[in-house]
Amino acid sequence: QSALTQPASVSGSPGQSITISCTGTSSDVGGYNYVSWYQQHPGKAPKLMIYEVSNRPSGVSNRFSGSKSGNTASLTISGLQAEDEADYYCSSYTSSSTEFGGGTKLTVL
């Protein structure tokens, strides 16, 4: 059982927008602005897509955006493309560890 709750799967058609939620508590997501999002293609290492809730690393498309409200963080992908199909994980700082969500499989229809 992961500490952070994500939907198991989401889907969308090319060009559409989707949002993946990540729900925690006031001890993790709600307590700090240290939420990250990672993309993982099959057989590959995770790739950082969003850090500190809403910041994009250099080289990450501006189609990816992050936000947070209370104990829930969200990743939005706009203008869906076939290559966005992957697993997505959120993570959050806590005072004693780092927690991950269970992951969300994004299918591009």
Which parts of 21-50 interact with other proteins (CB under 8 A)? Answer: 34, 36, 38, 45-48
- The residue (of 13 and 95) whose beta carbon lies closer to other proteins is 95
Site map (CB under 8 A) of other proteins, residues 87-106, x = contact:
--x-xxx--xxxxxxxx---
Please check whether residue 63 is in contact with residue 52, taking contact to mean a CB–CB distance below 8 angstroms: no
| Cα dihedral sign, 1-27-68-55 | negative
Q: How many of the other CB atoms lie within 10 Å of CB of 88?
A: 25
CA–CA distance, 64 with 109 (Å, rounded to integer): 18
The CA radius of gyration of the chain, in Å to the nearest whole number, is: 13
Which parts of 3-22 interact with other proteins (CB under 8 A)? Answer: none
- The residue (of 38 and 64) whose beta carbon lies closer to other proteins is 38
Which position among 14, 15, 57, 70 is part of the footprint of other proteins (CB under 8 A)? 57
Instruction: Give the containing element (helix H, strand E) for 20.
Output: strand 18-23
What is the contact surface with other proteins in residues (CB under 8 A)?
2, 34, 36, 38, 45-48, 51-52, 57, 89, 91-93, 96-103
